[in-house]
Amino acid sequence: MIIIHARMTVKEEKREEFLQEVEAVLEGSRAEEGNEYYDLFQDPKDANSFIMVENWKDMEAVQSHNTSSHFQKFSTAAKELLAAPLAVNVYQGEKLN
């Protein structure tokens, strides 16, 4: 299993636009073959800081996701919406239970 944590800091004035854009990538990604989990969380202490948590079956599923139209559209939009570069950590893990 591949686990991805993508941290995003959104420009304060672009927060609502970000939330609209992220809906399409959430919906599209959850429907992808090989996706096991895809959700967005907001930092409770900072309304403009978010983390996307993703679980994928394997790297092939991640690579397919990265070339999907909904992800590409979001990536392009994010360049204008984020206040700092995207911080991504990728892990390989296995479910223990």
- Biggest CA pair distance of the chain: 42
pLDDT in tens, 67-80: 999 999 999 999 99
What one-letter code names the amino acid at 1?
Answer: M
pLDDT in tens, 31-55: 999 999 999 999 999 999 999 999 9
The secondary structure element, H or E, covering residue 50 is: strand 46-56
Q: pLDDT category, 62, cuts 50, 70, 90?
A: very high
Query: Tokens 């296995």 identify what position?
Result: 94
